Amino acid sequence: MHRNPVSGRADRCYSLLTEHSREVIVSHVYVMQEDSGTKQLERIACGDEDKELQLLLERNLNLLPGDQISPGQDLRWLLIKREMPVVNPSTGDPWWSVDFLVVDQYGIPTIVECKRRNDTRSRREVVGQMLEYAASGRHYWTASDFRSHAQNAAGDEAKLSTKLKELTGSDT
């Protein structure tokens, strides 16, 4: 039986497919079995969708749609930091935080904010928030900050080195 990696319960709260910018609500989700048969997954209620989504993403960065970010490229990700502080430019104090700061195998940082589909804030507000994060990060996040946070996220220097080798395919 397939298990939810966050709660350990039978899988999936709901499923949503995107088809050329048109959302299609799927009433059932199936898993194909080895004998080519299918099994319908049981619906479960999420206790805290935001928390569960973030934990699922943290454990499965490959869920980030790299092919939508860079078409034709198979982007792989390394977690730099969950809840990366964003500095208030007026005071220099932490102001907000980015849900996830990751880098791809080319060293390009990507800011990830988890928003529920039914979040009532306008897309314009969310895009503005992301632009503010990126502008602040450009001035206040250093390469040594990235390295230190990535090492903490990995667990230690040896684990970070292993993850970097897996990410880039080299010993650098």
Render pLDDT for 87-145 as a digit per residue (tens, 0 to 9). Answer: 887 887 888 888 999 999 999 999 998 877 666 776 778 888 888 888 888 888 889 99
Query: Is residue 22 a contact partner of residue 62, using CB atoms and an 8 Å limit?
Result: no
Q: Residues 152, 146: contact at Cβ < 8 Å?
A: no
pTM for the complete prediction? 0.69
Please give the pLDDT value at position 1: 37
pLDDT above 60: residue 6:
no
- Burial of 18-39, coded b for 16+ CB within 10 Å and e otherwise, reads eeeeeeeeeeebeeeeeeeeee
Q: Is the dihedral of CA 74, 135, 101, 19 positive or negative?
A: negative
